[in-house]
Amino acid sequence: MGEKRQRRVYSEAFKRMVVQEYEQGASVPELMRKYDIGGWGTIKHWVRKYGRKPYRTETVYIQTAEDLDHVRRLQKQVQDLKALVADLTLENRMLRAALEVAGVDPKKAAMPSSDTSAPKEK
């Protein structure tokens, strides 16, 4: 036969103390090691029951140097594209204003034809 598992019962004061440390920034694994608490859901349950703040999800990002470089390049590309959109928006507004000053309705202004074929003969 297998070993009997020991069931631990924690006092409410102990639970509240652990929750207080958690709310002050301690991580769940850190508290589990410090107080020899078994079960990943134990502290989460206590936080929901006794905590003043919600249970926080702890995310650990593991990246290679190449991943980090790729993210930085993408962030730079996003910044460049935002600047380009801002420039084009400003240019568009200036052109619309110039058309309005000239008395031309920007919505009805003739757009250059995209048809580059030779003119049709009659």
CA 40 from centroid of its chain's CA atoms: 26
- For position 79, what pLDDT does the model report? 97
- For position 15, what pLDDT does the model report? 95
Can you give the residue ranges of every domain in the chain?
A: 12-50, 63-105
Kindly state the DSSP code that residue 69 receives in the 8-state scheme: H
Please give the chain's pLDDT, 122 residues, in tens: 567 777 888 999 999 999 999 999 998 999 999 999 988 799 989 999 999 887 777 677 778 999 989 999 999 999 999 999 999 999 999 999 999 899 988 777 666 655 555 555 54
- For position 70, what pLDDT does the model report? 93
